[in-house]
Amino acid sequence: MSPAGSLVDSHGRTLRDMRVSLTDRCNFRCLYCLPETEAAQNFYRGRWGQMPESKPITQEWVPKSHLLSFEEIERVIKLAVRLGITKIRLTGGEPMLRQELEKLVARIAAIPGIEDLAMTTNGSLFAEKAQALRDAGLRRVSFSMDSLDRDNFKKMTGRDGLESVLKSIRLAKKIGFAPLKVNAVVIRDINDHEIESLVEFARGEDISLRFIEFMPLDSARAWQREMVVPGTEILRRLQSRFDLRLVVNENLSSTSKRWAHADGRGEIGIIAPVSEPFCGHCNRIRLTADGKVRTCLFSVTEHDLRSILRGGASDRELDRWLRGVVWQKEDRHHIGEPDFVPASRSMSCIGG
Ligand code: SAM
Ligand code: SF4
Ligand code: SF4
């Protein structure tokens, strides 16, 4: 178990970053996360010949009574911050679907010791609450946007939502959320032809565009390695088109390698968990919407914090429990190895 006062695992990593999922539900059906649309099924059928034999994850939405309340989330975050967590990212599912989100943000923003409070969203509903979230103390937002082509966006997300996401990104910039990041999951033969145009967009807006390798976290369990566009390939292509300078990053726990354009407008990040894993420096822990602690994206075991919270545990007991859980954090993922076991839930339930 980690020493009192800190969250250290048995591999010597100190945890600083907590991802808090606010709901497992989502208004999108991204083909790399919840591939339930006809277009997504057709894509995978085309790649596999038919859908793979391996069992899809049956998506049973978390009942409302199992969702952690704002009070419970605040208590867990306070405890985690006392144990050294400094970075909180709100995620989901789609976090904007959580009612009165701005009230939760205000509670979290008031916790002393949090150096970075951010949120990841698909951007479709963000504009309605952008100012309220900013006023409540949210400082950073990352948007997910995989395509700039209306039809392709729809194919990838299952929704005709490109315009609303673009509007949200521009509004976030205007209101002063910074630094602003846009994440794009790259899938071969789906949106890899858009890499350059996405970068052009980010340059035009002077924001950061981060490319993420497709990971086996889709609910259909239809991921194939051939669909992954390796980070090195993305970089090679971008270097042949743009004048890029490596941004030296002192933070070893950072998931992305970054490049700036020579003229200083816009930035590129490449997150390559499949081809260049960064588990050795992982400092993250996840809290699911139904109160389970996950020590790795690919955990096959979850730790039931909700029962303990609701069973009346004292802060001291929770503290000891959490340190014991963190101690067991997995050393790395096993993607591509014969012993790889897919995660028990899809990315929308885990909280990316
Ligand atoms: N719904 C929000 C959104 O899409 O931004 C927040 C939750 S989503 C699960 C968080 C991030 O995970 C998104 O940037 C999404 O692109 C990424 N993601 C989801 N499934 C993924 C997969 N199979 N491989 C890589 N990234 C994935
Ligand atoms: Fe929803 Fe985000 Fe998953 Fe897309 S990636 S289905 S927006 S949770
Ligand atoms: Fe951390 Fe697990 Fe992701 Fe590796 S796979 S970086 S250990 S969460």
User: pLDDT, tens digit, for every residue of 137-194?
Assistant: 999 999 999 999 999 999 999 999 999 999 999 999 999 999 999 999 999 999 999 9
In this structure, the residues whose C-beta lies within 6 A of any atom of ligand 1 are 26, 32-33, 91-92, 94, 120-122, 144, 183, 185, 212, 214-215, 217-218, 347-348, 352
Q: Which residues lie below 8 Å from residue 112, measured CB to CB, with a gap of 6+?
A: 81
The predicted structure's pLDDT at residue 345: 87
Nearest to 28 by CA among 119, 194, 155: 155
Rounded mean pLDDT of 269-295?
97
Testing ligand 1's pocket by substitution, the residue of 212, 213, 350 carrying the most ligand atoms inside 8 A of its CB is 212
Lookup: tokens for 102? 């701005």
Percent of the chain with pLDDT over 90: 86
The CA distances from residue 214 to 26, 211, 270, in Å, are: 19, 9, 12
Q: For 187-222, what is each residue's pLDDT tens digit?
A: 999 999 999 999 999 999 999 999 999 999 999 999
Nearest to 324 by CA among 340, 347, 308: 308
CA 297 to ligand 3 centroid distance, Å: 6
- Domain extents for the chain? 17-350
The predicted structure's pLDDT at residue 53: 62
Nearest to 214 by CA among 85, 329, 43: 43
Q: For 57-94, what is each residue's pLDDT tens digit?
A: 766 889 999 999 999 999 999 999 999 999 999 999 99
Query: Which CATH class, in words, describes the domain spanning 17-350?
Result: alpha beta
Q: Which atom of ligand 3 is nearest to the CA of 329?
A: 7
CA 162 to ligand 2 centroid distance, Å: 14
Testing ligand 3's pocket by substitution, the residue of 252, 297, 345 carrying the most ligand atoms inside 8 A of its CB is 297
| pLDDT band, very low/low/confident/very high, at 258 (cuts 50, 70, 90) | very high
Which comes out higher in pLDDT, residue 201 or 1?
A: 201
The predicted structure's pLDDT at residue 255: 86
The pLDDT mean for the chain works out to: 94
Nearest CA to ligand 1 atom 4: 122
Q: How far is CA 145 from the centre of its chain?
A: 13
The predicted structure's pLDDT at residue 29: 96
Q: Which atom of ligand 3 is nearest to the CA of 255?
A: 6
Burial of 258 (0-12, 13-18, 19+ CB in 10 A): middle
pLDDT at 51 over 80: no
List own/partner pairs for 228-234 with CB under 8 A and 24 or more apart: 228/187, 228/188, 228/274, 228/275, 229/186, 229/187, 229/188, 229/192, 230/272, 230/274, 230/275, 231/257, 231/270, 231/271, 231/272, 231/275, 231/276, 232/272, 232/275, 232/276, 234/186, 234/195, 234/270
| pLDDT band, very low/low/confident/very high, at 45 (cuts 50, 70, 90) | confident
CA 100 to ligand 2 centroid distance, Å: 20
CA 282 to ligand 3 centroid distance, Å: 6
Query: Does residue 298 have its Cβ closer than 6 Å to ligand 3?
Result: yes
Query: Does residue 346 have its Cβ closer than 6 Å to ligand 2?
Result: no
CA 248 to ligand 2 centroid distance, Å: 31
Nearest CA to ligand 3 atom 5: 333
CA 6 to ligand 2 centroid distance, Å: 32
The predicted structure's pLDDT at residue 266: 94
Nearest CA to ligand 2 atom 4: 30
The predicted structure's pLDDT at residue 158: 96
